[in-house]
């Protein structure tokens, strides 16, 4: 019987960020507020940076109404390949995109994008057909409504994708707090302000322990 729990492995995972473009985010994402959505995308990106995962960026019609890629992603990954698709709706139909994925040598693909029902769903299902394990980051993917998002997520799950959020991606990659308590805590606290209380408690406990 095949393992039902396929765990993310930082040595076998790559991150695909599809069409996180300013025009698409402001014009089409309605299942999240803009600020919350951008925070989730940046959180996923910083998670990829923290674990040194290969990242592939792709855009569609960036010089038109879809707008440019989020500047924060460009700043975080200045050396990452940016695949500018001339017209393919499904990024997996673009040979350069697929070649960039293959070049990572990774078989686990963490994917997020705009919009969930098209730009995320299509390459997700295509990659699964090619034998990849795909992990869809739901809260770093946006679309026109929660109903549309739910239908798209259900379609991908039925197709074999695993559905996650950025925090669960980070936690599964980390696996054990003891690998880097301060570094991992700083990553989480930066994007989840409430988690700063947890790290404050930890810091206080560490201080008390050294004073005894």
Q: Residue 5 falls within a domain, yes or no?
A: no
Residue 2 has a pLDDT of 65
Task: Indicate the number of domains in the chain.
Answer: 2
pLDDT of 90? 98
> Within 13 Å of residue 126, how many CA atoms lie on the same side as its CB?
17
Assigned domain for 87 exists: yes
Q: Is residue 3 part of a domain?
A: no
* Closest to 138 (Cα-Cα) out of 205, 41, 57, 55: 41
Host domain of residue 207? 176-212
Residues 166 and 203 grouped into a single domain: no
DSSP class of residue 195 equals G
Assigned domain for 84 exists: yes
User: Per the domain annotation, does 108 fall within a domain?
Assistant: yes
pTM (predicted TM-score): 0.92
For 18, how many CA atoms within 13 A lie in the half-sphere containing its CB? 34
Residues 128 and 192 in one domain: no
pLDDT at 1: 55
Average pLDDT across each block of 10 residues of the chain; the chain has 212 residues. List them in order. 83 98 96 96 98 98 93 98 97 98 98 98 98 98 98 98 98 95 90 70 59 62
Q: Are residues 91 and 190 in the same domain?
A: no
List residues with catalytic annotation: 119
**pLDDT of 165:** 98
Question: pLDDT at position 196, please?
Answer: 65
- Residue 160 tokens read as 């074999």
What does the pLDDT read at residue 124?
98
- What pLDDT is attached to residue 110? 99
């Amino acid at each position: 019987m095949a393992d039902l729990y396929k765990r993310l492995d930082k040595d076998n995972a790559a991150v695909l960020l599809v069409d996180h473009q300013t025009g698409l985010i402001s014009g089409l994402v309605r299942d999240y507020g803009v600020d919350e959505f951008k925070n989730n995308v940046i959180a996923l990106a910083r998670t990829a940076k923290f674990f040194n995962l290969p990242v592939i960026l792709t855009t569609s019609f960036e010089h038109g109404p879809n707008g440019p890629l989020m500047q924060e992603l460009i700043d975080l990954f200045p050396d990452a390949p940016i695949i500018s698709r001339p017209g393919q709706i499904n990024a997996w139909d673009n040979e350069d995109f697929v070649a960039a994925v293959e070049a990572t040598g990774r078989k686990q693909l963490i994917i997020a994008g705009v919009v969930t029902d098209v730009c995320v769903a299509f390459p997700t299902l295509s990659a699964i057909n090619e034998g990849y394990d795909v992990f869809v980051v739901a809260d770093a993917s946006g679309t026109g409504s929660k109903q549309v998002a739910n239908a798209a997520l259900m379609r991908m799950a039925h197709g074999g994708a695993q559905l996650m959020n950025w925090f669960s991606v980070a936690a599964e990659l980390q696996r054990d707090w003891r690998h880097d308590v301060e570094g991992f805590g700083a990553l989480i606290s930066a994007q989840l302000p409430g988690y700063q209380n947890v790290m404050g408690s930890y810091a206080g406990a560490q201080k008390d322990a050294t004073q005894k």
